[in-house]
Amino acid sequence: MSSRRRFRALIGAPIALLLLGACGDAATDSVQVGYRGTALEQNYDHGDLKAKFAQVKIPAPPPPAGESPPGPLPWQNVQVLNDISVAEFNRTMIAMSTWVAGTGNCAYCHNIANLAADTLPNGKPLYAKIVARRMLQMTRNINGNYAQHVKNTGVTCYTCHMGKPLPNGLWFYSSQTDYLRHYLDRDGARVITQGVTPTNDNRSSVKAAEWTHALMISQSRSLGVNCTYCHNTRQFASWQEAPPARVTAYHGILMLRDVNRNYLAPLQPVYPAVRLGAMGDAPKAQCVTCHNGAYKPLYGAQMAKDFPALWGRADWNGVPFPGLGAPRGGAADSAAAMPAPATPATPAPAPVAPKRSSARPVPPNSAVGAAGGTN
């Protein structure tokens, strides 16, 4: 190489690095998620992550609940949050009005002239309040019964709503959502067959394979990850060779089936027509509804720990549930009615069951005591 070429090479390399640096934060992290030597890794672009992280706004929690006045609870027609103090109830309501309505507007769910009413002054039902009541039960069920998916991060209304009345990713029955209907609203996503001829016992088909592939792509995009986040691509079916995230995702699928079948779909009679799909079905959730393109919803922000009213369990990270410790208004009788994680044979409960508990059943001598809770 001539001296002129060597000089150009020496000068050109720093210039190229400067030009690349001007394009932004181009650094990439490779994170190993599986066994060594199996290429199970995720690549995260710094600039892309920073841009997405900047879009996540976590609202500050209200001040901790102070002392409540002694005596019976002053509320009327409270069917879920009747196992917490007056102060905790008020701060939870304030937070929810911001999480869902976005503006702190109590009128989004309530008749301001009569907060206990389930109807407007003109007699029309307050469907948003009825739905919110069921969503509180659902949130407690998720936090209390699906720790294998939500861990100790948990969920709140803001996890999905993010300050908007309608979360992202709501879906309805159509020919474009068959894969969601079958796998997040019905059956298991399994297409491995041991036979050639279709029978009642062997329902595997090319269509089922296409639906499974569509579900996997949907989950990948919902979390902003690739296939190796949950699978070893040399053997997709193997659980032994898969990263731990596959087990977490599996419990997420079970959770979504429970949510869709036992909480969201049964609300169909409550919604006005404008909130229903073309086939008259209620809106349902999928992975992107909570994750919104992040491998952890809100990138792992732990909001639930600050709101005991949403725990659905006797303690959170060792902190006992600050319940009332004594039954009020029949809450003890309804505590045992809390729905367990759904199985295919479990019928969906009524969408608005009065005095239905949403708290996780706990021993009588626990911190929650006999007041399991039913807002």
What digits encode the pLDDT tens for the residues 133-147? Answer: 999 999 999 999 999
- In the chain, what are the helix, strand and coil shares in percent, each to the nearest 5? 40, 5, 55
pLDDT at 339 over 70: no
- Tokens for 298, please give them: 């809100």
From the centroid of its chain, how far is CA 242? 23
Among the ranges given (147-151, 201-205, 262-266, 340-344), the one the predictor scored with the smallest mean pLDDT:
340-344
Q: Kindly report the average pLDDT of the chain as a whole number.
A: 80
- Tokens for 213, please give them: 């592939």
What's the rounded Cα separation, in Å, for the pair 180 and 281? 14
Residue 104 Rama label (left phi>0; alpha psi -120 to 50; beta): left
pLDDT at 45 over 60: yes
Cβ proximity of 224 and 295 under 8 Å: yes
Q: Which backbone phi and psi does 223 adopt, to 5 degrees?
A: -100, -5
Q: Which backbone phi and psi does 346 adopt, to 5 degrees?
A: -80, 120
pLDDT at 19 over 80: no
Task: State pLDDT tens for residues 156-195.
Answer: 999 999 999 999 999 999 999 988 988 888 776 666 776 7
Cα angle: 219, vertex 275, 55; to 5 degrees: 45
What's the rounded Cα separation, in Å, for the pair 143 and 157? 12
> What does each C-alpha distance from 153 to 128, 150, 297, 301 come to in angstroms?
26, 6, 9, 7
Task: State pLDDT tens for residues 217-251.
Answer: 999 999 999 899 999 888 888 888 898 999 999 99
Please give the pLDDT value at position 31: 82
pTM, two decimals, is: 0.77
What's the rounded Cα separation, in Å, for the pair 265 and 168? 17
What's the rounded Cα separation, in Å, for the pair 324 and 367? 9
Nearest to 266 by CA among 129, 131, 81: 131
Could you tell me which residues are beta bridge partners of residue 119?
125
Measured over all CA atoms, what is the biggest interatomic distance in the chain, rounded to whole angstroms? 93
Return the higher-pLDDT residue of 62 and 16.
62
Share of the chain above pLDDT 70, in %: 77
> What does each C-alpha distance from 5 to 2, 10, 11, 12, 191 come to in angstroms?
5, 9, 10, 10, 59
